[in-house]
Amino acid sequence: MTLVCLRANDSALVLDVSGPKLPRVLHWGADPGSLEGFALATQPFALQVDEPMPITLLPAQADGWLGRPGLAGHRDGTWPFQRLTLTGDPQVEVDPAGGGRIVVESADAAAGIQVVSELLLSPQGVVRVRHTVTNSGDGVWTLDRLEALLPVPGQARELLDFSGRWPREKQPQRSEFQHGSHVRENRRGHTGHDATGLLIAGTPGFGFRSGEVWGVHIGWSGDHVHAAERFAEGVSLLGGGELLLPGEARLAPGEVYASPWAYFVYSAAGLDGLSSALHRELRARPSHPHSARPVVLNTWEAVYFDHRLDRLTALADVAARIGVERFVLDDGWFLGRRDDKAGLGDWYVDPEVWPNGLHPLVDHVRGLGLQVGLWFEPEMVNPRSRLAEEHPDWVLATPGRWPVLARNQVVLDVAHPDAYAYLLDRISSLVTEYGIDYIKWDHNRDLVEAVHAGRAGVRAQTLAVYSLLAEVRRRHPKLEIESCSGGGARIDFGILEHTDRVWTSDTNDALERQAIQRWTGLLLPPELMGAHIGPPHAHTTGRYADLPFRAATALFGHAGLEWDLTSLSEAELAQLTAWITLYKRLRPLLHTGDVVRADHPDPAAWLHGVVAADGAHAVYCYAQLTAPLDLAPPALRLPGLDPARTYEVRVLPEVSVELGGSARNPAWRDGVTASGAMLSTVGLRAPRLNPAESLVLELHPVVSRRS
């Protein structure tokens, strides 16, 4: 047995690369330290064959594996089962500072396929896995499945994944990890409002700050699958990949298919440890936005389709006065766009609404010192549009069949060369003409009967959109792009290779947002999640919330506003000014620190925060969601602090409810000094809050770390 071990961030990946079969993963989880005795301790599983067989990187029936195959395909119905063997020694690069890379080449010469498997362990402790298959034989080879799968130990007995809908994304689902398959297949043509994002297995009762957890995320914006399987033979697997539609990956001789990256992450410190590794992985990217995330004003819930120059310039004037830094003109500026039934696809400024183009508005906004953003929905088209009338063949559909409508629109075939060229020209021309700083790139419906060039076309559409985004950014390297898909329906690491933030949800209801941001935040750090203050009555739910609660919720993201500021009183504007000033002061912490979440005993209230990496600064939000279980709420135990430091705790009035009465006004309300150990173990007496009220605390150390 030839062992290879990659280690980083207290986690490890141990493989047997002795061949001739593909390597098998002997261990993925906590760093075991010395590998002495490892070969004897980790014998192959006894499957239903006479000889114990290894479960390899691509489990196969040829190895006696009867679960989900890692690789499935055929050559016109023949060679339905592959038997891969190594074609050379694996390439192993171990980074002494942590992490490393393994590349494995294998083939089934008789079946006529070659496979390259890549495993990368980053210094942050995230394992990336990708497989590439090449048709090395004669004739077409059809690929049905190519998934990344890693084993998880028997201690993982619970599963956590997520569902949702518009506009209520990322709703958690928790269940026992039982024998059989737990499979989340997404056929929406984009990531989807109900996409799990993360599929997590863990030890019983795991929480934010406790338990071992193993998670997987598929970095792909088209159809995809996440799966967990457990068998009576004593093996469990976690993984997934692209969900291929029939005939979508027919490889001609020499043609190659590369799976999307699958991201695997382990933590011995609960969900916060898993989340921290993923956040650091994203923040380590060269493309990660490192400039201060500007305060945004989006015009949608301020004016909707009512685009008038005087109204919008007045809105910009107020925005600049209170400290907004980026003004984004949303839907309604292009040809025929008076409602959502017409105009999509006709990406020309409407001269009836804007006789002088957008220049008067853009010049006014720039004169106020604000950046300018513009809304697009490039992948969609209304049947009532010039584009649909002149180019019906550009619609993503079966030839001769018009697809069903959704939101009064159909999908444009971005992989059609002429449609691609048209979109690139229109977007690039408008960015150039108006010096646009930012695009809100929307995508408001699922793909149904997506056919490109006579075949299932979700994969081609996804790759074409990636290519289009990359080319727009290449032409305009300073341009920032937001991924919006009816809110949070396209949030994944694939789209984030080409964008700078996501619109987390179409709802600005702060109570709904507490949950949406909490669970989306497992995958993404705050600076990538758009979070806006909307009107007092939420557009999507009608629920009312006071300004401090809405402001506290939006603080913990890439903050902005979506509200008619011209309708506000001077007192409200003063509150917003103070909130924006606070956000600008705190964003260096909020957008670089470690996100922490308490396992608070009362499910009616949540306690979360951000702590600087060195423990020298922290901010927490205590949010009451519904009526508390007890008259005296449990103490607020603040996670993530340095136990050896002494901290000064103070309430931030800009984003906190005004407390009155002894039950609601604890003795520490005006400030307290305590050790990190006391604050995290004993905690602070919690005030009694009403539903949709919050308290935000800021902490600074007052005593240097003890020697």
Q: Which is it for strands 618-624 and 262-267: parallel, antiparallel or unpaired? A: unpaired
Q: What is the mean pLDDT of the chain?
A: 96
Q: Which pLDDT band holds residue 706 (cuts at 50, 70, 90)?
A: very low
Give Cα separations from 564 to 179, 371, 533, 542, 572 (angstroms): 53, 18, 11, 16, 12
Catalytic residue among 108, 506, 509, 594: 506
Q: Is residue 656 part of a domain?
A: yes
We report the CATH number of the domain holding residue 92 as 2.70.98.60
CA pseudo-torsion sign 564, 570, 572, 573: positive
Is residue 176 exposed (0-12), middle (13-18) or buried (19+ Cβ within 10 Å)?
Answer: exposed
Average pLDDT over residues 141-150: 98
Rounded to 5 degrees, what angle do the CA atoms 112, 116, 121 make?
A: 160
Q: Provide the pLDDT for residue 665.
A: 83
Q: In degrees to the nearest 10, what's the CA dihedral of 141, 147, 150, 152?
A: -130
Average pLDDT over residues 102-123: 98
How many angstroms separate the CA atoms of 666 and 288, rounded? 41
Overall number of domains in the chain:
2
Q: Is residue 351 part of a domain?
A: no
CA pseudo-torsion sign 86, 8, 94, 281: positive
Average pLDDT over residues 367-384: 98
pLDDT exceeds cutoff 50 at 175:
yes
Report whether 533 contacts 554 (CB < 8 A): yes
Average pLDDT over residues 442-454: 97
pLDDT exceeds cutoff 80 at 47:
no
Q: Is residue 298 part of a domain?
A: no
Average pLDDT over residues 559-578: 98
State which of 233, 249, 283 marks the end of a domain: 283
Report whether 609 contacts 618 (CB < 8 A): yes
Q: Provide the pLDDT for residue 703.
A: 66
Rounded to 5 degrees, what angle do the CA atoms 641, 643, 648 make?
A: 65
Q: Provide the pLDDT for residue 654.
A: 96
Q: Provide the pLDDT for residue 495.
A: 98
Report whether 522 contacts 284 (CB < 8 A): no
SS3 percent helix, strand, coil of the chain, rounded to 5, is 20, 30, 45
We report the CATH number of the domain holding residue 625 as 2.60.40.1180
Q: Is residue 637 part of a domain?
A: yes
Q: Provide the pLDDT for residue 667.
A: 87
Q: Which two tokens stand for residue 455?
A: 């075949």
Spell out where 576-686 has E strands. 594-597, 605-611, 618-624, 646-651, 672-675
Residue 286 CB: number of other CB atoms within 10 A?
5
Q: In sequence order, what are the beta bridge partners of 100?
A: 94, 121
Q: Is residue 452 part of a domain?
A: no
What region, left, alpha or beta, does residue 268 occupy, with left being phi > 0 and alpha being psi -120 to 50 degrees? alpha
Q: Provide the pLDDT for residue 707.
A: 39
State which of 248, 283, 318 marks the end of a domain: 283
Residue 411 CB: number of other CB atoms within 10 A?
25
The percent of residues above 90 in pLDDT, for the chain, comes to 91
Q: Which pLDDT band holds residue 52 (cuts at 50, 70, 90)?
A: low
pLDDT exceeds cutoff 80 at 705:
no
User: Radius of gyration (Cα) for the chain, nearest Å?
Assistant: 27
Residue with more model confidence, 55 or 306: 306
pLDDT exceeds cutoff 70 at 71:
yes
pLDDT exceeds cutoff 60 at 270:
yes
Enclosing domain of residue 89: 3-283
Q: Is residue 630 part of a domain?
A: yes
Q: Provide the pLDDT for residue 48.
A: 66
Q: Provide the pLDDT for residue 662.
A: 63
Report whether 602 contacts 631 (CB < 8 A): no
Q: Is residue 299 part of a domain?
A: no
pLDDT exceeds cutoff 80 at 620:
yes
pLDDT exceeds cutoff 80 at 406:
yes
Q: Which residues of 429-453 are buried (b: 16+ CB within 10 A; e: fewer)?
A: ebbeebebbbbbbbbbbbbbebbbe
- Nearest Cα neighbor of 343 from 409, 405, 395, 393 is 409
81 SS3 class: coil
Give Cα separations from 54 to 45, 69, 407 (angstroms): 7, 14, 50
Please provide the DSSP assignment of 214-231 as one string: EEEEE--SSSEEEEEEEE
Average pLDDT over residues 620-628: 96
Q: Which pLDDT band holds residue 347 (cuts at 50, 70, 90)?
A: very high
* Residue 506 annotated among the catalytic residues of the structure: yes
Report whether 214 contacts 266 (CB < 8 A): yes
How many angstroms separate the CA atoms of 206 and 270, rounded? 6
Q: Is residue 467 part of a domain?
A: no
Q: Provide the pLDDT for residue 350.
A: 98
Catalytic residue among 442, 446, 492, 509: 442
Report whether 484 contacts 503 (CB < 8 A): yes
For 409-429, how does the pLDDT look when each residue is reduced to its tens digit (9 = 90+)? 999 999 999 999 999 999 999
For 590-599, how does the pLDDT look when each residue is reduced to its tens digit (9 = 90+)? 999 999 999 9
State which of 283, 316, 335 marks the end of a domain: 283
Q: Provide the pLDDT for residue 85.
A: 96
For 27-42, how does the pLDDT look when each residue is reduced to its tens digit (9 = 90+)? 999 999 999 888 777 7
Q: Which is it for strands 224-231 and 126-135: parallel, antiparallel or unpaired? A: unpaired
Q: Residue 417: which residues within 8 A CB-CB, separation 6 or more? A: none
pLDDT exceeds cutoff 50 at 228:
yes
Q: Residue 50: which residues within 8 A CB-CB, separation 6 or more? A: none
